[in-house]
Amino acid sequence: MTSLIRYDAARRALAAAHRVDEVKAIRDKAEAVRVYAKQAGDFALQNQAAEIRIRAERRAGALLVDMQTSGERQAKERGRPTKVSSPTTLPRLGITRDQSSKWQRLARMIDDATFDKAVARTKENDGELTTAGLLRAVREIVTPSEVGVEPEINVVAAELIRDIESVSRKAKLEAVVRLRSRLNPTIRKKLILALKNAKGDLEHFEAELLSDFREFPTNGKCHQRIVREIIAEQEKSDPLLSEKKALAADFKNATVREISLAEARNLVVASEWLGNLGSSEFAFGLFFGEYLAGCVCFGSTAGTKVRSSVCGSEHADKVTTLTRGCCVHWAHIHSGSFLVSAACREMSKKGYPLVISYADPAANERGVIVRSCNFLYCGETSPAEKFRRPDGKVYDARNVHLLTRDRRFGSLRYKRSRAEQKQILIEEGYEFFKDTGCKHRFVGIFGDRRTKRILRAALRWEVLPYPKREQSPEDHLQVVDLDPVPTTVAASSGP
């Protein structure tokens, strides 16, 4: 009863607070109580304190947004810090830039009703209330339902790869082999037979897959165009193909709306160069009638430093990345540009008017579509460090930090620094190297005129002329002057 009274009092104090420092004080006290309750094993008090802390962070984010809008927190002008005597600067409030960005994003994401629903769902599903769990619940609520999506064959194949390369399965086999003297002879005999049969099956399937496999051609065509041509040849007998092409002939039949990641996955895995959704959090689909003709996905960038480098740390929370995108073979010839423009406008309504996009020359990508959507060209990315495992698989070196902790089976088994983990990997035969294959980098600015003007003036990346290259038939198909893209989700409505 006492903890419930204190919880209600904290909720009232939070609602009455109108200054960031007041809310920050409530947040810090709630976090201290949460830590104490977790150590004491008081699960109910822990969740109450966690809820107060998260609500305080969201309230602080809303106040920071209001202060920035009213000019109370504009501590920079023309890229140079200005002297301010107000106590409302982040360092004086004891708030880091990373916290400010996360709290403002939490405040912008959803309304109060959706937030309350997400809190209740997190408690129901996870038991323990955490920020990460809450964000997952928010995404489930605001993202369209994934009901009735049948996996495409490429999605099945991608899941099969994960099953074959399963680390947990390998760890189990290693444990069984190490303790084989304790095995029941019957179980041991069955396991030997299962491994023998699996080996024969795998060799047979490998031979079948290799029999007619062809490497990605280096004929100048981009990867997705080659995939579209292959699928178009295979789907010639589709009885609905004529109806789909008739609908796709006119953008009056088109709509752009948010879809689930499961719906996007079927298209992306089948067509994209990387063959996965990556860090995608949002997806938008282009529909001609009831048929899905393309999708684009947006997600997080490679760390907060990239977001801050675009227009400064004060605009870092407005940055998202166009992570994936593709269209089917029967879609309108300008569907890619139409979809990207409409989807970026929808993302600006979610609070992300800055969109980063990359074009990978390894897939013969040139950024043709984003160029036609008036993205600015900002040069090439820097060479990235990568590492190659003994089995030949290559990963970004940023993934090393994922191996510095092992929390399997509910306990911290080891904790290492990144340098220590890297040295261990080198001793195990991992090879670290610099990948000289740089990508083309683009940035798009969306929103109203005022937002565009402010963000364009704050842009820190150098804007360069589009790289010159020889014209190809694909360029003539993609680079066009678009009709005005509707500002609403329905593509058939007026601007």
Mean pLDDT computed over 448-457: 92
What are 3-26's pLDDT values in tens digits? 555 667 777 776 777 788 888 888
E strand or H helix at 80, and its extent? strand 80-81
Predicted local confidence at residue 409, as pLDDT:
56
Residue 474 binned pLDDT confidence (cut-offs 50, 70, 90) = very low
Predicted local confidence at residue 373, as pLDDT:
94
> Rounded mean pLDDT of the chain?
81
What are 181-205's pLDDT values in tens digits? 998 989 889 999 998 898 888 888 8
Residue 346 binned pLDDT confidence (cut-offs 50, 70, 90) = very high
Predicted local confidence at residue 333, as pLDDT:
92
Mean pLDDT computed over 89-111: 75
What are 215-249's pLDDT values in tens digits? 777 666 788 888 888 888 888 888 999 999 999 99
Of 11-25, 113-127, 146-160, 464-478, the one with minimum mean pLDDT is 464-478
What are 372-409's pLDDT values in tens digits? 999 999 999 888 888 888 878 888 887 888 788 776 65
Of 18-32, 331-345, 437-451, the one with minimum mean pLDDT is 18-32
Predicted local confidence at residue 304, as pLDDT:
55
- 394: β partners: 388
Predicted local confidence at residue 120, as pLDDT:
85
Predicted local confidence at residue 347, as pLDDT:
93
Is-above-0.95 flag for pTM? Answer: no
Top-confidence residue, 143 or 232:
232
Predicted local confidence at residue 302, as pLDDT:
63
Predicted local confidence at residue 5, as pLDDT:
56
Question: Per-residue pLDDT for 42 more than 90?
Answer: no
Residue 29 binned pLDDT confidence (cut-offs 50, 70, 90) = confident
User: Strand 319-327 relative to strand 354-359: parallel, antiparallel, unpaired?
Assistant: parallel
Given a contact cutoff of 8 angstroms between Cβ atoms, the answer to whether 98 and 122 are in contact is no
Top-confidence residue, 484 or 321:
321
E strand or H helix at 349, and its extent? helix 335-349
Residue 149 binned pLDDT confidence (cut-offs 50, 70, 90) = low
Question: Per-residue pLDDT for 484 more than 60?
Answer: no
Given a contact cutoff of 8 angstroms between Cβ atoms, the answer to whether 35 and 13 are in contact is no
Please report, rounded to a whole number, the percentage of residues in the chain having pLDDT higher than 70. Answer: 83
Predicted local confidence at residue 408, as pLDDT:
62
Predicted local confidence at residue 460, as pLDDT:
94
Predicted local confidence at residue 385, as pLDDT:
85
Residue 93 binned pLDDT confidence (cut-offs 50, 70, 90) = confident
* Amino acid making up residue 276: N
Predicted local confidence at residue 459, as pLDDT:
95
Residue 143 binned pLDDT confidence (cut-offs 50, 70, 90) = low
Separation between Cα atoms, residue 165 and residue 154, nearest integer Å: 17
Question: Per-residue pLDDT for 493 more than 50?
Answer: no
Predicted local confidence at residue 125, as pLDDT:
78
445-452: Cβ within 8 A, 24+ apart? 445/353, 445/354, 445/355, 445/376, 446/344, 446/345, 446/347, 446/348, 446/353, 446/354, 446/355, 447/348, 447/353, 451/348, 451/353, 452/353
